[in-house]
Structure 1
Amino acid sequence: MVRFNEIKNQNGRVFLITGANSGLGYETSKFLLERGATVIMCCRDLLKGEKAKQELLKFNFSGNIELFELDLSDLNNVKRFSESIKNKFNCLDILINNAGIMAPPKTFSKQGLEIQFAVNHLAHMSLTLELLPMLEEKNNSRVVTVTSGVQYFGKIQWEDLQGNLKYDRWAAYAQSKLANVMFGLELNLKLKERNSQTSSLLAHPGFARTNLQPKSVEANQSWQEGLAYKLMDPMFQSAKMGAMPQISAATLSSAQGGEQYGPRFNFRGFPKICRNAPKALNQASRKKLWEISEKLIKDA
C-alpha cells in the first residue's frame, strides 16, 4: 500500500498530463509541482486551464507549469498539438493519459466517431504514439493510462464499435475503459519486445469526486443518476486520493510495466497493485483492437 510520503522528489522531470485543469488531473499536477516537477498541463478549455494554473501558482511550488490547449475530440488537433510539444521540449519523462468523458448522450467526435471511444481511447493512443520517440530518449520513462473500475464490466463490441446499431452510454463508457487497459498492456508488450527503456502502466481512481459525475448528470438531464450519486456519496473519496494510483504508477521506483494501480478496497483507499480486467489479458483481442485503432487514427 502506497502512502503520500513514499513519493520521491521529482526535480528535473517533465510530466505531460491531459485533462489537467480539474479533478484527478489537477490534483496530480499539484502533487508533482510540489515535488519540483515540470508539468505540461493540457486542457480542452484554455480559459479554465489558465484559471487552474493561476490557482496552482499561488502555492509557490518549486516546479514549473506549462499550459497547452488540447482537444482530444479531434484527432487532427492531437497531431498538431504533438508537433508543438516536440518543437518546444527536448525531452519528456512521463505521459499521463488522464482526461476522459463519461456516459454522455450519443455524441460524435470531429472524425464522426463515438465520442467516448474517440476521446478516452483513440486520442490517447494517438497522443502516446506521437510522443513515444521523445519518451524513449529517457531512461525509466513511462506512459500511464488512466482507466476506471468499469473496465471489469466492459466488452468490446467488435461488430458495432461506434454504437451505430445500438448505443448504450454506460456500455460505451465501459468499452472505452476496457480499451484503455488493452492498449496499455499491448503497448507495454511492444516496448518490452524491442527492449525499450519506456514502460506502460495503468491506474484507476476508484470512486473519486470529480466533475465527471455532475457533467454526466447535466448532459443527460437525469434526476435518477443525480439521486444515485447523492446516495453513493459516502462511498466516494476525494479527487486527491483518487489521483494517488496514477501518481504511484508514474513515480514509484518499484512500479513495473504492465502493472495497474488502484485503491486498496477497489473503490477507495490508498493505492496498491490491482488486477487488470480479465478481458484485457487476451493478446489476440488486444492485437485486433490495436490494428483497428491504428487504422482509425491513420484515416483521420
Structure 2
Amino acid sequence: MSGWTTDEMPRLDGKTVVVTGANSGLGYEGTLAFAEKGATVVMACRSVDRGERAADEIRRESAVDRGAVDLDVRECDLASLDSVRTFAEGLAADYDAVDVCCNNAGVMAIPRGETEDGFETQFGVNHLGHFALTGRLFPLLEAAAGVGGAARVVTQSSGAHEQGEMDFSDLNWERSYGKWKAYGRSKLANLLFAYELQRRINVAGTSGEDGDETDADSGDDLGLRSVACHPGYAATNLQLRTAEESGNPLMKIGMKAANAVLGQDAATGALPMLYAATADVDGGAYVEPDGVANMRGPPTVGRSNDDSYDRADARRLWEYSEEATGVEFPR
C-alpha cells in the first residue's frame, strides 16, 4: 500500500516544534522527522536524562549532518501542573513563538494512581496535563500564527476512544476503576478537547459565529488550527509498560507477541501526527491510518466516533479542565 510519507513533509526551517514524550516511541520518531526537515524541536520529557540520550541517538540516526539537527531537551512532567508551568515559562523566556505543539505523551491502562495534583493518572497525564500545556503555550502559538504562519496544535488520541465514556460525576475514578475504561475516557477527552479548541478558534476568527461540528473553516483568520490524530496499532514501549505495571508475566509475553504480529513500527505510527502537523488539513480534522480497521497504513483524514463531537460534553469538560488546572486560554 502506497501513501503519504515523510518525504512529502515541507521544509520547516525557522519553525519551532514542541513534542511531549519525545524520548521514545512515536515522540522519538516524530522528533527525528521534524528535525530532519529543519525545525528546532523542543523535546518535552519527564526525564531529562532519557531525553538527552534520545537526542544523542537522533543525532546519530539522522540522515542530515549531526550539527544540523537542532534539539532542545527540557523537563516537562505532565503529571505535575507545576512542572508544566515551569516548562511553559521557560519556553516563553527563550522563544518568540511555537509553530507546532504535539500533545503526544501518554500512559496506557496502568493500575490506578494519582498525579502530583491528585488527579487519576491516565486522565491527569493524557488530558489535563496537555490541556494545561496547550493553554500556557497558547500565546506562543498565537505569535507564530500572527506572523503569517500556520500554527498547529496536534493532539494524539487512540482508537480506544471508542470505548471511552464521560462520567462527570466521577472523572477521576474515585468510586470504581477499570484501567482500560480509564484509558478510553482519557483518549475521548483528548478528542473533545481538540475539537472544542478548534470551535473556540473558529469563534475568535469569525467574530462570534459558531460553525458546524465538523466545520473545516478552521481558523484561517487566525492562522491556528487544532487537529487530532491516532497512530493505529503502533508497536512502542507503551504496550510494554502496560504489561510490566500489570505484574502479570503472561501479559508481557502477550503484548510482545501482539506487537510483533499486529503492530506497525513506531516510525509508521508517527505518520498521522506528522501529517496532522504539516499537511494541508482542516482544523478539527481527525487523522488516522487508512488500513483495515484503521489500525495500519498511511495517514488519511477520517472521523472519530459520535461521542467525540458532543458539544455539551466538550464544553463541560473544558470548564472542568480550566477549574482543575487553573489554566484559562486567552480566547
CA positional deviation for 1:147? 0.6
Structure 1 stretch displaced more, 164-173 or 215-224: 215-224
How many aligned residue pairs are there? 298
Amino acid at match of 1:72: L
2:216 aligned residue:
none
CA positional deviation for 1:5? 2.0
* Percentage of identical aligned residues: 36
RMSD: 1.3
For the residues of structure 1 that align with 2:43 and 2:256, how far apart are their CA atoms?
Answer: 31
CA positional deviation for 1:3? 2.7
Q: Residue 10 of structure 1 aligns to a residue in which SS?
A: coil
2:157 aligned residue:
147
1:277 aligned residue:
305
For the residues of structure 1 that align with 2:6 and 2:299, how far apart are their CA atoms?
Answer: 10
Q: Which whole-Å deviations, capped at 9, do the CAs of 1:162-206 have from their partners, x for residues lacking one?
A: 111001011000000000000000000001111132110011011
- Please list, as runs of the form range in 1=range in 2, the aligned pairs for 1:34-183 lying within 5 A after superposition: 34-58=36-60, 59=62, 60-61=65-66, 62-138=68-144, 139-183=149-193
For the residues of structure 2 that align with 1:116 and 1:133, how far apart are their CA atoms?
Answer: 27
Q: Which whole-Å deviations, capped at 9, do the CAs of 1:73-104 have from their partners, x for residues lacking one?
A: 01121111111110011111000000000111
1:251 aligned residue:
278
For the residues of structure 2 that align with 1:230 and 1:40, how far apart are their CA atoms?
Answer: 31
Structure 1 stretch displaced more, 4-13 or 90-99: 4-13
Amino acid at match of 2:296: R
CA positional deviation for 1:65? 0.7
TM-score (norm 2): 0.87
CA positional deviation for 1:119? 0.4
For the residues of structure 2 that align with 1:73 and 1:273, how far apart are their CA atoms?
Answer: 31
CA positional deviation for 1:277? 2.4
Give structure 1 stretches of 5+ with no counterpart: none
CA positional deviation for 1:264? 0.9
TM-score (norm 1): 0.96
Residues 120 and 176 in structure 1, CA contact (< 8 A), matched pair in contact too: yes
For the residues of structure 1 that align with 2:173 and 2:90, how far apart are their CA atoms?
Answer: 33
Could you tell me which of 216, 223, 237 is aligned with 2:242? 216
2:32 aligned residue:
30
Give structure 2 stretches of 5+ with no counterpart: 206-221
The question of 1:199 aligning with 2:225 is answered yes
Provide runs of 4+ in structure 1 moved above 6 Å: none
For the residues of structure 2 that align with 1:231 and 1:73, how far apart are their CA atoms?
Answer: 30
